[in-house]
Every structure is written in structure tokens, then in C-alpha cells.
Amino acid sequence: MEFLKKHAVWFVAGILIALGAVSLRLAWDDSTTMDEKAHIPASYSYVRFLDMRINPEHPPLIKDLSGLAMLLISPLPQFPMPSALWSQGDEGIDPAKHPEGPAKTWGLAQWSFGDQFLFGMGNDPNHVTFFARLPIILITLLLGFAIFRWTRELAGTLAGLFALLLYAADPNILGHDHLVTTDIGIAAFVFFSAYFFVRFLKDPSTKNTLLSGVFLGLANLAKFSAVTLFPLFGLIVILYALSKPCPDTIEATQQRAWRWRFFISLILKFAGSVVICFIAIWALYIPNTWNMPVETVQEIARAQFPNDRAIGRLAESTIIDMSEIPLMKPLAQYFLGVFMVFARVSGGNTYYFLGTVSNQATSLYFPVVFLMKATLPFLAILGFGFLYGLRRITKVAHADKQSGRTWREIFAHSFQAHIAQYTMLGFVALYSYLSITGNLNIGFRHLFPILPFLYVLGTKAVFDYWKRHHGNHTTWTIMRGFIFLFVCWIILIPVFAYPGYLSYFNTAMGGHTEGYKYVTDSNYDWGQDVKRLKQWVDTYNHCVDNNQTGSDECKTLTGGKSFPTAFPIQKIRVDYFGGSSPEYFLGNLYESWHSNNTPEPGWYAVSAGFYQESIYKPQPAGSLNYSWIPQHFLVGRAGDSIFIFYVDRVPEQGI
């Protein structure tokens, strides 16, 4: 153990290098996912043209970083500008809701921009996507180091290494840590913000006030869900100020006055950090809206907020009024995005979950998905931490009560001594509540902001228990053995799950090959396997053309089953969910397909999400779905998420 402590820096470097290497490999191997099709062209347009009309429902920080990386490509990628798509967006607004005239929106057009930018302009989509992903990997590595550092400060060097390993070996992190989305970004910057906020509470100096405000701003520039930090931090500041004990040097007659001075001082300094936060937001929005016409901001606002609802009218008028003032245009764009997110959450999204298809959220979604996708050692650590925490709270509270302290004094002492843990638990509780009660059930990735805090809290509980039993040789030895076994377990999980990290489900749910039965979308099938579909088809044709169907490489395609035909694939019907282009990779072999097309013999490649939705979504009488394809027609898979069928004859019930 002393060896680990002495050489901790090398272990940290080794873990982060391994994390970076795997992430880089996946950044090249994974095809463009669904949301990346919108984020990548938006990223490029922000830094190249200083105009953020594409994908305004997310703030620009993460996309700016990806856009800067794409500027390293030589020659620079072509972009569909000028074009009618850029100047007009997509028409499609109900005139009844906008009697003042047709309103244009680029919210719908973002998908068209993605198709054109990546696959219709002569750009190399592999290079563009890879370069855009590089800054996300850098953020991933910075978050890993931050998890190590904060855990080390709270529980020691060994605990810091353990928490870092939990993070770096989590398949769910590995599945998303290279994608051009806001999920890793918001997890990182919320964690950074909480760290500097706690430093501010312990020492509200000018430096810490500034850092707290800047990182609070960066969190809100990463994703709008960071607005939850404002009420949480505000409440914690109030509780911290009220529970602060007077210094021993303060006379009893002066204690009340001292408390009020400290309370007002801390509140004012926190208010100052909030002002700094909005200055940071305003400053970054300036270059991102520099060339964005005021009319475009207003047109997007009119398109997003229907006039038949009071909140919509309020949002629209507020944004339009702000945009008329040049200095306020950046903040108008910021609040436009905030309002769009609230509208998006309330509107819901169609999803498949446990045999049902709906666009109305269920409170079971996130708890169940968390239990299915979190690794078993991580769940065990969280369970242990919860039980140990309850035991410690009960024991300490009882001892304090026996000493004659009031419950207020007990809480005040605990709050001051463990402010970092209270901040983490407060965010986990608030964010979890909002996620569970919200109307947007589209992926475990939406819980990423709480994961770094759970890594730290779970690890701290384990190592606190270990330290408390350091004097008991038997317990200490058993704990050391358990930690060693857990380290091996944690490391082996991503080794055996590679490369199916995005589709990862823990072994209790059948692993990454079975998860589609429970839930899809970004939990399992986000379009990441189109390149692997191309590889599968090429390998299959190679095996057939060269009469090598009995080789080990060829047998792996079909899971050991015999090849269904002795002829190569000349046409494959593809029903694909994602941000890539099967036609670009498959060329003349590609044929577009949909579940309601009339069945016919031949090859099919169907995304797991579309497959499940077509079967379980209620359909009008006479509608077709994929239930006509028997499972024995399944030949293989491209990755985990694309099912490959060969239909030699259409079953009668499928016609």
C-alpha cells in the first residue's frame, strides 16, 4: 500500500493514459451517433462563422471546443453556407399559432445540416467526426484527474486511486466519453463547479469567489441543466452561514453581531460569484452570436414558443425585447436556450422501455435503467456506502445527543465538518429528483452529472470504514482482500465488454448483448455501429467469394451457425437509427427500408431501437412491423445494435 501511495502519480498517469487510448480508438471506430449529427455541424459553424443558429437548445462551450479541433483539419471542411437551409431554416410552423407571419426555425434543420456537412459536401466524415471528438476526450481526462484529487483530499491517496479507477473503467463512461454531446461536459464542469464552490465556502477570499463564479459559469455554458446549481448553492450558502460557529475569541455579547456580519458577508460574496458567472456566460456568447442577425434570434424564439400558452408568450417577448439591445443579444440567446430546454423536457420523447413504447415519462425509468446499466461492483459500493453512512449518522447522532447537544447543534457541527459531502449529496438528490419527475426518458447518459459524486462518496465510505478498523488486524486484512478483488473485478468488466460500451448492461441483465430487450435509444442503440455493419458485410462477402465460410473469422460473424446462402450480399435493406449514413459506407449494397414496408426475401439490417419500437408500439389495424421476422432468421450483428437477418422466404403471417 505504501508503494501505491509513493508512486501514486504514475498510477494516475497510467490509468488516464489507458483511458485516453481506449477513447481514441473508439473515437475512430464508432460511427457518428444520433445527436452528433446535430452537434458536429453546429460546433463547426460556431467557430467558423460566429453564428449559433444551429442547435441553440444547448450552450456553446463544448461545441466551441469541438469546433476549434475541426479547424485543424486541412483543408478546412466545406459547409452548406450560403444556402437556403442556412438563411431560411426549415419552414414548418403552424400559422394559426403565429398569425404575425411564418416563423423560421433552425431546430429542425440541424439534422439536415448534419447530413449535408458530413456526407453531402465531399468532406471525409471519418476525419471530421474524429477531430470533433478529441476535445471531449480531453475533458474526460481532466474529469478523471479531478475525481482523483478531490477524493484524495477527502479520504486519502489510495481512495483517490480507487475512485479514479471506478470512473475510468466504467463502460458507461467509456461508451460516451468520446462523443460530441454535452453529457461528459456537464458531468465534468458541474463537478469542477462544486469543488470550487466548497473551496469558496471554506475560504471566501476574492480568489475563491472569482474561481467559484467562473466555474459556475462554465457549468452553465456546458449544459443548461446546470441551472439547478443556482438554488442548490444558494441554499447551502444560507445553511453554511447560519451554522458557522463563532470563533473562540469573540465575546458572548458580540456573537450575535458577528453571526449577522458573517451571514451578510457570505451572501454578498456568493451573489458576487453569481454575477461573475453571468459575466462569463455573456462573454462566451459574444463571439458565438457576433455574426448572428437579431432577426434570426427572434425567428427561432417565435418558432419555439407557441403563442397559445402564457409561458410561451412570456418567453418569446422577453427574448425578443432583450435581443433588440446589442449588449443584451448574447444573453437573449442564452435565455432562448434555457427556455427551449424547459419546452423540450415538458414535450417528452418517444422511447422504448420494458415492453412499452411511449412519449410520456415514467418515474421508474431512471432508477431501473441505473440498476441495469451501472456495473455490479459500483452498485455494491453504493449499497455499502449507504448502509455504512446510515450507521455512522445514527451512532454519531446518538453520541452527540448523549453529550447534551441539541439537534440543531448536531446538524450544524456535521454540516460544517462535512460540507463537501453535503454539497455532493444535495446535488445528487436534487438532480435525481428532477430527472425522475421530468418528462424526458431517453438515456442513462442524462444521469452522468451525478456519477462523479457517487464515485467519490462511495469510495470515501469504503475507505473510511477501512481506516476505522485499521487497529483490528482481521477486519483490516479482510477489507484489503475485498478491495483487491473489487479492483480486479472493476478492471475486467471493460476488458470483456470491449467494444460494446455504449450498449453495456451489467451481467445481472445479461450483459451488452441482451440490453435491447429492456431499453434502447442512447442506452443501447444510438447509431454507433454503421462502420461495423460495413465491416460485417465486407467480411461476409469475402468469406463467400473465397469459399472460407468454415474459417474461425467467418464463423464469428454468424455465431458459429452455417451461412444462410452461398452467394454474396448484393443488396441489404437497412432500417437505421443514428447520425451516420449507411448509404455512404455501403454504397450500391444499400437499400433504404422501414418496418411498414411490404416484406420480401433478402438481407436486412435493422437497428435494435427500431426493431423493438416496431414490435411494441401500438399500431393501427393492418399495419406492418418486424414481428414477421422469426428470430431464427437472425444471422449476426454489427456490433451490438444492428441486427442482420437473412429471409429466404417471407412467412405467410408476414404478408
Which residue is it, cell 459559469?
217
Task: Give per-residue pLDDT as tens, 460-498.
Answer: 999 999 888 776 777 778 888 889 999 999 999 999 999
* Residue 249 confidence (pLDDT): 76
Q: How far apart are CA 75 and CA 123, in angstroms?
A: 10
* Residue 154 confidence (pLDDT): 97
Q: Backbone phi, then psi, for 358, in 5-degree steps?
A: -155, 165
Q: How far apart are CA 575 and CA 281, in angstroms?
A: 41
| CA contacts within 13 A on the Cβ side of 364 | 6
> Where is pLDDT greater, at 81 or 35?
35
Task: Give per-residue pLDDT as tens, 38-55.
Answer: 999 999 999 999 999 898
* Residue 346 confidence (pLDDT): 67
637 has which bridge partners?
Answer: 643
* Residue 298 confidence (pLDDT): 86
Task: Give per-residue pLDDT as tens, 396-422.
Answer: 777 766 777 777 878 888 899 999 999
Q: How far apart are CA 532 and CA 638, in angstroms?
A: 5
Find, among 347, 332, 319, the residue nearest to 282 by Cα. Answer: 332
* Residue 183 confidence (pLDDT): 96
Does the pLDDT at position 337 exceed 50?
A: yes
Q: Is the pTM of this model over 0.85?
A: yes
* Residue 99 confidence (pLDDT): 41
| pLDDT-above-90 percentage for the chain | 69
Least-confidence region, from 110-114, 274-278, 374-378, 606-610: 110-114
Q: How far apart are CA 36 and CA 73, in angstroms?
A: 18
SS3 label, residue 311: helix
Task: Give per-residue pLDDT as tens, 227-270.
Answer: 999 999 999 999 999 998 888 777 777 888 888 999 999 999 99
**For 532-549, what is the mean pLDDT?**
94
* Residue 98 confidence (pLDDT): 39
Does the pLDDT at position 431 exceed 50?
A: yes
Sequence-distant (≥ 6) Cβ neighbours of residue 379 within 8 angstroms: 371, 506
